[in-house]
Amino acid sequence: MKRSVTLALTAGEPAGIGPELCLQLGLEERQPGIVVVACKHLLQARAGLLGLAVELEDWKPGNRAATAPGRLSVMHIDGLTSTDAGKLDPGNSAYVLETLRIAAQGCLDGVFDGMVTAPVHKGVINDAGIAFSGHTEFLQELCGVERVVMMLATDELRVALVTTHLPLKDVSAAITPERLTQVIRILDVDLRKYFGIEQPVILVAGLNPHAGEGGYLGREELDIIEPTLEKLRREGMTLTGPLPADTLFTPHWLDNADAVLAMYHDQGLPVLKFQGFGRAVNITLGLPIVRTSVDHGTALDLAGSGKADAGSLHTAVRVGEQMAQSATRDRNE
């Protein structure tokens, strides 16, 4: 019998589609329990704009989260300066980060079993004078961990990244034995912990075209990647590579693999998003908490139109629930 879990859901950028995705979820019967960490007035305004009949229930720790259709539990957060759909307001930035902080702290304190995040707008937060590079880095700092790993997943494919939001010119210097070792260890451990994979099989992409072609197209594979993989293989990990990125995303390799490790953002994610955009989930590995997110941005042009698709949010909630339950089993064994 599955243990019931409660997930915190942050509504993201107030001007984007996040608030209405949360409301769409509230229209449906659902498990696990969801608590939206957001300004209640924002959700009321968006529900009124779209004509959505969702009853918003004030939630406090110790309460049960609503799961019935037409009801949605909300942990109200103050500090919002505007609720206009499609219109960015830097004044909302501190509020957005506060929702993330409260949800994450609730997970650390055991109030929530995990957190799911709707999209934020990095640009407007930085316009407010707050240095912010993304959810992943924010949660890494808040949780006090040295390294985290971004992994996107569909039902058919998982792609993790060695580097995330770096200019392409800086990627090579960032591929160090230390970083590669940390990332692969986190990936191996969390595939076991959260996905129940006893012996993960991980495909590792090379950095250069044709994985360097024996050094003629770059030496990172020879000097850094392969020696690091060999060291980790001796620890018992099942690692294949470095493989040319233009051929590893084929059935020949993927059919027997549990995850792909790409060296940089646009090496692996275009393939995954082509394969499953709108039903993929963004997962942060290496944290002491469960965190999943949607695979898309704030979609300001769709905000308030009623046309936003909640498919990725459904996936993020479902995977967040599975990870929380798996982590509990792991602790109890």
Q: State pLDDT tens for residues 264-322.
A: 999 999 999 998 888 899 999 999 999 999 999 999 999 999 999 999 999 999 999 99
| pLDDT of amino acid 114 | 97
Domains of the chain and any CATH numbers: 1-145+287-333 (3.40.718.10), 147-281 (3.40.718.10)
Give 208-233 pLDDT, tens digit per residue: 999 999 999 999 999 999 999 999 99
Give 41-87 pLDDT, tens digit per residue: 999 999 999 999 999 999 999 999 999 999 999 999 999 999 999 99
| pLDDT of amino acid 332 | 56
Q: How far apart, in whole angstroms, are the C-alpha atoms of residue 225 and residue 206?
A: 8
Q: What is the pTM of this model?
A: 0.93
Length of the chain: 333
| pLDDT of amino acid 327 | 86
Model confidence at 2, pLDDT cuts 50, 70, 90, reads low
Asked whether the predicted pLDDT for residue 331 surpasses 70, the reply is: no
- What is the rounded average pLDDT for all residues in the chain? 95
Q: How far apart, in whole angstroms, are the C-alpha atoms of residue 26 and residue 21?
A: 9
Asked whether the predicted pLDDT for residue 3 surpasses 80, the reply is: no
Question: What is the pairing mode between strands 149-153 and 259-262?
Answer: unpaired
Top-ranked range on mean pLDDT: pick from 1-15, 114-128, 270-284: 114-128
| pLDDT of amino acid 333 | 58
As a whole number, mean pLDDT of residues 89-97 equals 97
| pLDDT of amino acid 189 | 97
